[in-house]
């Protein structure tokens, strides 16, 4: 029988073995290799990058603070503590402008200053690229949500030969949906902890407004769907949104069927196709009657998206 097995590596990370037909290993050897892969993944995410800056005491305090708020949010969604990745802080690396661009060549053309790698499990950030502390930490929190999202890696034929099969909602599709739910989760955390964040990262009321406007172009579409699903199912908006948010960390996707129930067959396929081509996205926006203004945001997104892919 060709069946792949799942091994839990750490908190949110699972490794899927290759199909049995292509997998010559017996169970014992397989488990040994999985342990090695786990150790490798641990070290590759936390290993220092050449020339990376030491984090200041303030950096560490802010990151720990954000990490705590994020974990609290995930627990409140009903995800169990053992499915939360324990060590995020050491996977974050502060780089200079030059080193950030060396690592991510496309960053020379693009303004974005933070990126995460699902394969390496680390986050790179260039503080000089942001106009304020609050913007730095908002971008960091976005990457931290990616880093806490359910991660499934698929093993290849060697210890370091694996590929990312799924991160949050994203597999070969659902890129746009994954980004929107990630950003809306960031916004949820910021909204619910405004006073704490004022002290923690110097988030002023003006900054809060800027962050509020700084959402991905797919966010309004997701919010619209949540509203309409809530109305159709006679449930609270909060409950419907929470199922979308929880899916990022739990991998549950049953609630996505509500999109088909709402809009008819084929609607989910359209949502899955968001985030891969600007032309297609515009058509999907038309289908779901998303406001014209959001189409303009797409070009910004596409520049940024290329950066994330390059990381």
State the residues that interact with Zn ion by CB under 5 A: 179
3-state helix, strand, coil in the chain (%, to 5): 60, 10, 30
Residue nearest to Zn ion as judged by C-beta position = 179
> Is the Cβ of residue 251 or residue 275 nearer to Zn ion in the bound state?
275
> Is the Cβ of residue 125 or residue 155 nearer to Zn ion in the bound state?
125
CB 44, min distance to Zn ion, A:
20
Distance (Å, whole) CA 145 – CA 150: 10
CB 143, min distance to Zn ion, A:
7
Extract the tokens encoding 232.
């159709």
> Is the Cβ of residue 13 or residue 117 nearer to Zn ion in the bound state?
117
CB 139, min distance to Zn ion, A:
9
CB 182, min distance to Zn ion, A:
5
CB 176, min distance to Zn ion, A:
11
> Is the Cβ of residue 248 or residue 268 nearer to Zn ion in the bound state?
248
Chain CA centroid to CA 82, Å: 19
Q: Identify any residues that bridge with 15 across adjacent strands, giving them in sequence order.
A: 7, 153
Q: Do 79 and 109 touch, CB atoms closer than 8 A?
A: no
CB 299, min distance to Zn ion, A:
17
> Is the Cβ of residue 37 or residue 177 nearer to Zn ion in the bound state?
177
Residue 214's nearest CA partner among 282, 113, 309, 138 is 138
CB 109, min distance to Zn ion, A:
18
Determine how many CB atoms are found less than 10 A away from the CB of residue 72: 13
List, in order, residues 6 or more apart from 14 with CB less than 8 Å away.
Answer: 6, 7, 8, 150, 151, 152, 153
Distance (Å, whole) CA 204 – CA 254: 38
> Is the Cβ of residue 34 or residue 93 nearer to Zn ion in the bound state?
93
Pairing of strands 161-167, 151-158: antiparallel
Extract the tokens encoding 70.
């994020």
Going through 80-176 in order, the beta strands assigned E by DSSP cover: 92-94, 114-117, 122-125, 151-158, 161-167
> Is the Cβ of residue 177 or residue 267 nearer to Zn ion in the bound state?
177
């Amino acid at each position: 029988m060709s069946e792949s097995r799942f091994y839990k590596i750490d908190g949110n990370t699972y490794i899927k073995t290759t199909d049995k037909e292509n997998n010559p290993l017996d169970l014992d050897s397989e488990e040994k290799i999985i342990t090695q892969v786990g150790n490798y993944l641990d070290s590759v995410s936390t290993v220092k990058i050449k020339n990376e800056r030491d984090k200041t005491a303030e950096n560490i305090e802010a990151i720990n603070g954000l990490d705590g708020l994020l974990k609290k949010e995930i627990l409140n969604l009903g995800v169990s503590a053992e499915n939360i990745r324990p060590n995020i802080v050491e996977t974050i690396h502060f780089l200079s402008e030059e080193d950030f661009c060396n690592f991510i060549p496309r960053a020379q053309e693009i303004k974005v200053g933070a990126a995460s790698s699902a394969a390496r499990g680390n986050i790179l950030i260039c503080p000089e690229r942001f106009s304020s502390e609050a913007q730095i930490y908002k971008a960091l929190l976005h990457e931290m949500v990616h880093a806490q999202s359910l991660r499934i890696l698929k093993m290849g034929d060697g210890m370091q030969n694996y590929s990312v099969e799924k991160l949050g909602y994203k597999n070969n599709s659902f890129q746009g949906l994954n980004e929107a739910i990630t950003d809306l989760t960031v916004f949820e955390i910021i909204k619910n902890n405004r006073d704490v964040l004022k002290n923690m990262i110097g988030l002023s009321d003006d900054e809060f407004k800027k962050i509020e406007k700084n959402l991905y172009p797919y966010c309004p579409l997701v919010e619209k769907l949540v509203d309409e699903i809530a109305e159709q199912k006679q449930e609270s908006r909060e409950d419907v949104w929470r199922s979308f948010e929880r899916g990022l960390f739990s991998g549950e996707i049953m609630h996505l069927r509500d999109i088909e129930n709402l809009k008819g067959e084929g609607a989910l396929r359209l949502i899955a196709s968001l985030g891969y081509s600007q032309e297609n996205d515009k058509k999907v926006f038309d289908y779901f009657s998303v406001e014209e203004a959001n189409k303009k945001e797409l070009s910004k997104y596409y520049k940024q998206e290329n950066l994330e892919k390059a990381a």
